Amino acid sequence: MSMELNLPEVAAALALAILVIGLFVGRYRRRLDLSAFDSPDRAERFSSGAQPNAEHRAVVDRLAGIAVALKGAPRSRYLSIMRQYMDGMFADRVHSASFAPLDVDGIRGEWVSTPGADRSRRTLYIHGGAFTMGSPRSHRTVSAKFAEITGGVVLALDYRLMPEHSRQAGIDDCRAAYRWMLEHGPDGAQRAAIVFVAGDSAGGNLTLSLLAWIRDRGLRAPDAAVALSPATDSCFGSPSLKSNLATDVMLRPVLKKIVETPRIVLLAAIWLNGRIRPDDPLVSPIYGDLAGLPPLLIHASEVEMLLDDSRRYANKAIAAGSPVRLQTWNHVVHVWHLFDPSLSEARQAFEEIRTFLAEAIRAKAPGGGG
């Protein structure tokens, strides 16, 4: 039995399909257009000079060890090698803080505290690592510093990673840990008096997603939050992804192929892989409602690829009435805080965080204006 094609009808159907797809793509692109938040430049800017110095070069040299670790290894082992490398990268650091493992009610991580810590002052710290690597161990430099500057304890969360687990699993772990930390400290059940949330890179993304969820659920809000070089747009639309490609020595090897992929193909791949629309505020906090957030401090490097993720988020949040501060540093790598205390900018950045969180604690005190 043969079927004759009606070419005019086929052509009409094809034209209609192209029109529908075009309208969808056009509407989607308009939704993804965040260029209105590229200005003004509200950042408080810091710099140690016009050119990179010996400290910056030492950081770059240390990062070169990643390429050495991967050299000659099959791609199937890259992720496991990177995880081991991250966990051991700062293993030589000596900390004044103590680290106690935590595994309760599905919440895994470690409590970080310094001598004399007020255990009712708590920070939930969410590490970075592109959602696929990193751990409380890899970020002990940062979590120990937060314990020191807050005078409290830090719950460094060991959330579930991709690809063994879904993106949603990591989000769920952050939510469960925050709820639990409000009522539990290192010594057991005890309500928190002061609460902070902080995270870097992918952990910064999870931090910002968590803040919106806390607000929407009507939970006790953090007294303040800190996001270090956060990824805010999983649609990869920030101009600095391309403009800072040449200057970002840490993210360039990971993101170069991604930013060179046609965007519509990239968005489809992200959607299919994660089963979450890339513009869903769950994974792209910048597309959500940014009103009613707690005091938030954002740090970013002026030469990193995620700079505009921070700038756009800060501008949109401020426009929505939220108290957000953006501070940027020149010449430094993505999440340069990891290189404290050997990097001057890391020491300076933590002093800014110390001041910011101290103001939040004073505002919480009776008569402090909070």
Distance between first and last Cα of the chain? 81
Q: Which amino acid is at 100?
A: A
Indicate if 345 belongs to the active site. no
How far is Cα 357 from Cα 363, in angstroms, rounded to an integer? 10
Active-site residue (options: 113, 138, 201, 234): 201
Indicate if 304 belongs to the active site. yes
Q: Are 261 and 236 in contact (CB under 8 A)?
A: no
Strand partners, 188: 185
Active-site residue (options: 304, 310, 322, 345): 304
Active-site residue (options: 139, 299, 334, 337): 334
How far is Cα 97 from Cα 201, in angstroms, rounded to an integer? 23
Question: If residue 188 lies in a helix (H) or strand (E), which one and from where to where?
Answer: strand 188-189
> CA angle 102-156-104, nearest 5°?
25
Peptide bond preceding 341 in cis form (omega within 30 of 0): yes
DSSP SS3 for 318: helix
How far is Cα 130 from Cα 199, in angstroms, rounded to an integer? 12
Indicate if 334 belongs to the active site. yes
Q: Which amino acid is at 178?
A: Y
Q: What are 31's two structure tokens?
A: 């939704």
DSSP SS3 for 113: strand
- Active-site annotation, residues: 201, 304, 334
